[in-house]
Structure 1
């Protein structure tokens, strides 16, 4: 019966596999394989040849019920990559079939990755799973974020129906450093309680890891985080070596600005490279 229901609903099954390597001329996109509607633009070098920028594009412009996106990114030793998306990822109403996105990232020795996608926008009625799995070698460093917005505030649409399951998992040399699961159900009254999201429709978080990441960054970053009626940010350092910034908000522009500011301040410490804003953020 399940297979019959899936067959009645058209869906996109898409895969993207990227491999970056550091060569004598800098970091290069060595392999880009895809199936279905997932693409990556040509390699860009706004910061010079050592840092390769790529933009992941999903031509359908939204994820509908039954869609499955599988993205795998491998960074060879000493490579440095910046990955982003051109616009918000829209998760549409799912009538029967849940949609899914799985991102797996593997970082070799001394590799550096900036994972800077734009936000996930969940329409009312969306049923989906969003998974991020990160594996680092001992000397690799990573800064990445994830943002979700429940409902479309600008259109007056509240997130009154739908389910979102989130899984974030980080390993270093096969050892688990961080794992977090969340199941958000629009009909669950506990969702709007203080221990969960309260009345905030937007939630974001940023992770930072690397040999230079430490508790000393707490005092540096904490005074820079806002706490007011529209946005609230906090930062903590886990003993496993993960710096975690969290934010709740009712304004996506403020949320985006907070995460960009945190990345700008952390990048010189984590990667040893000054931060340069992406052109995408100027549009």
Structure 2
């Protein structure tokens, strides 16, 4: 007999003046709104189900309207738990930024536990002149707890369009013995955590060299299209990953890291 599964939907849009234009939340996805600074609406989402497993379905839609600023982060690390055979958890994220607006998508780590099975999709739409920053950190088991991911499935699909044109497409897929895959020199070289970082803004190329310095020898960054940077970082564990990510996020956003993030 199939067990009950979690459902959650969060839709949020911001208008100039750090104000909410629209908000809908249902199921186990909720949003909190701490004090805003610098004209940017701060939103913190949380999953009251406590994590995600096979068969769960979540959807987040976030939009910064023309001239508005929005920063979206998570209350805590998301957890991907063991799934039953033939069950896959799904997360659909849709982000949109109007002309002259900005949106920072800065969730904390997603912790992938043994035998988890999840498919996530991120669709980003930018109007001309929009500014966008996204980071997606992944931790495969907690080193301090002796956790090893010997089995699992994870698919991450990213698509970014600016002015109606597809500028960026990226797929990550892990299946089977994730620990063994991460040991491969061309994949993780023994890393237990990784992150993807995407930054789109006028003049983004001027931050290419500084970002390379911040990410260090286990990170790489490229100018993949005009005004669009993409980086991937690997690290031994989640703590070391944060030490690399926080300075990079601060430099690209021009703001302090969300207070939910700590070292």
Q: Tell whether the structures are fold-level matches, with TM greater than 0.5.
A: yes
Unaligned runs of 5+ in 2: none
- How far the C-alpha of 1:21 sits from its partner, in A, is 1.2
What residue in structure 2 maps to residue 66 of structure 1?
Answer: 55
What residue in structure 2 maps to residue 156 of structure 1?
Answer: 146
What residue in structure 2 maps to residue 201 of structure 1?
Answer: 192
Q: Is 2:134 the counterpart of 1:144? A: yes
In the superposition, the TM-score normalised over structure 1's length comes to 0.87
Q: Is 2:249 the counterpart of 1:263? A: yes
In the superposition, the TM-score normalised over structure 2's length comes to 0.93
- Whether the 8 Å CA contact 2:6–2:57 is kept in 1: the answer is yes
Deviations 1:36-92 (A, max 9, x none): 1111113531x24x1111101111121122101100112110001111001110000
1:249 pairs, out of 230, 235, 244, with 235
- How far the C-alpha of 1:129 sits from its partner, in A, is 0.5
1:135 pairs, out of 125, 128, 152, with 125
Q: Is 2:79 the counterpart of 1:99? A: no
- Runs of 4+ in structure 1 deviating by more than 3 angstroms, as ranges, are 188-192
Question: Equivalents in 1 of 2:130, 2:100: separation in Å?
Answer: 4
- Whether the 8 Å CA contact 1:137–1:172 is kept in 2: the answer is yes
- How far the C-alpha of 1:121 sits from its partner, in A, is 0.5
- How far the C-alpha of 1:204 sits from its partner, in A, is 0.6
SS of the residue corresponding to residue 280 of structure 1 reads coil
SS of the residue corresponding to residue 279 of structure 1 reads coil
Equivalences for 1:72-221 in 2 at 5 Å?
72-96=61-85, 97-187=87-177, 192-214=183-205, 216-221=206-211
SS of the residue corresponding to residue 51 of structure 2 reads coil
- Whether the 8 Å CA contact 1:185–1:191 is kept in 2: the answer is no
Once the two structures are overlaid, the 10-residue window that deviates more, 143-152 or 194-203, is: 194-203
Deviations 1:1-26 (A, max 9, x none): xxxx6xx221012111111111xxx1
Q: Is 2:6 the counterpart of 1:17? A: no
SS of the residue corresponding to residue 263 of structure 1 reads helix
Q: Is 2:52 the counterpart of 1:56? A: no
Unaligned runs of 5+ in 1: 268-273
- Whether the 8 Å CA contact 1:177–1:240 is kept in 2: the answer is no
1:279 pairs, out of 256, 259, 262, with 259
SS of the residue corresponding to residue 251 of structure 2 reads helix
2:22 pairs, out of 26, 31, 38, with 31
What residue in structure 2 maps to residue 224 of structure 1?
Answer: 214
